[in-house]
Amino acid sequence: MGRKEEALQEFQRALELARVPAATDSSNAIQALTSLGRFGEAKRTLDQWQQQRGSLTSSQMGQRYRIAFFENDTATMERIAREAPTDKFWLVLQQQLAFLRGDSGNLRSLAETLVKQQRRAGRMENAADELAWHAQLESYLGNYALARKLCRQAGEASKDSNLALLYCAKALAEAGDVTQAEALAAKLDRLRPEDTVNQRLDLPLIRWIIDRQRGDFVKALDLLAPVTQYEQGESQVLYHRAQAHLAAGQYAKATIEFQRLIGNRGWIEWPVFAPLAQLGLARAYFMQGNSESSRKAYDDFFTIWKNADPNTPILRQAKAEYGKLAANSSVVALVSRTAQ
């Protein structure tokens, strides 16, 4: 519900009251602390658990690695990488960090491993979820043909998976396949009419992407208004709202939203949306005529993705935009010198 502080208090109370504290309560408390940007407290909670139990669970190891990554603590990262099991939690974390670096090759390799793990275990619905999540990531990169292919494979693995329907509806909407995205959203609505997260968060996000594709930016912003309550800790909410402001020509508001997302590293799925927000920030500055800030934002984006696949569509587009920005700046400088 976006009420992270209240959730944290409940999880901490549960840990205090339990005769044998549950690892899930500890992990949830750590997630809440991380979402609130309280990394020091999160680390202390993890240290206390390890002292009491002798070791961390798989999810806790992933949480500790994530904090170490944010703090550039390479020694801790290397230690955990040696110790952590290559289970779903670890692979998903590494997949997100691969996206953050623009490493599409590693991202795809990790996605294939996740799908294979689920297929070997006979969990076809989970395999569909992994295929669909990979499709959504590829759609953000602009690899729409691959996203469509992955969504077809997800549909073959499981027809009614909640997450697969959700991720593929977003992926196909991003790819411009709005009719198919609407069909998946309608099915999701029909199958889970009382699911709070679907009804109040996911379906409005899908519908806003569809309306954005159709050019109805005012309606798109209206759709996102009720979603605002979930923004605390949810990178996707802030990213899509910033994109809505950008599409509607509200560039100053878009700038504020993109900056806020970039600055909150502990938020859920931040590694996925941070580089996208950095590119969005560069575009928002450019549309405001702030060439200097736009150039710096583009440079920061290129630094983050310095080892990215050069054929990634959104990276090629960003470089083309940067070239136009540089050309415009040269013209302005020439005109200014001539006027003097």
Q: Of 30, 50, 84, which closes a domain?
A: 84
302 plus 215 within the same structural domain: no
Inter-helix orientation angle 162-174/124-141, to 10°: 20
Residue whose token pair is 């602390």: 33
269 plus 298 within the same structural domain: yes
**What is the pLDDT at residue 303?**
96
50 plus 116 within the same structural domain: no
pTM (2 decimals)? 0.91
CATH number of the CATH domain containing 327:
1.25.40.10
77 plus 188 within the same structural domain: no
Domain span at residue 90 reads 86-225
Phi and psi at residue 102, to the nearest 5°: 75, 15
220 plus 91 within the same structural domain: yes
Cβ distance 200 to 193 under 8 Å?
no
Number of domains in the chain: 3
pLDDT digits (tens, 9 = 90+) for 82-140: 999 989 999 999 999 999 999 999 999 999 999 999 999 999 999 999 999 999 999 99
14 plus 54 within the same structural domain: yes
pLDDT digits (tens, 9 = 90+) for 28-84: 999 999 999 999 999 999 998 888 888 899 999 999 999 999 999 999 999 999 999
3-state secondary structure string across 163-203: HHHHHHHHHHHHCCCHHHHHHHHHHHHHHCCCCHHHHHHHH
73 plus 121 within the same structural domain: no
146 plus 106 within the same structural domain: yes
**What is the pLDDT at residue 232?**
58
Q: Of 35, 68, 84, which closes a domain?
A: 84
The H helix count followed by the E strand count for the chain is 19, 0
Angle 186-190-7 (CA atoms, 0-180°, nearest 5)?
Answer: 100
207 plus 239 within the same structural domain: no
Is 340 a residue whose pLDDT tops 60?
no
CATH number of the CATH domain containing 92:
1.25.40
Q: Of 225, 242, 274, which closes a domain?
A: 225
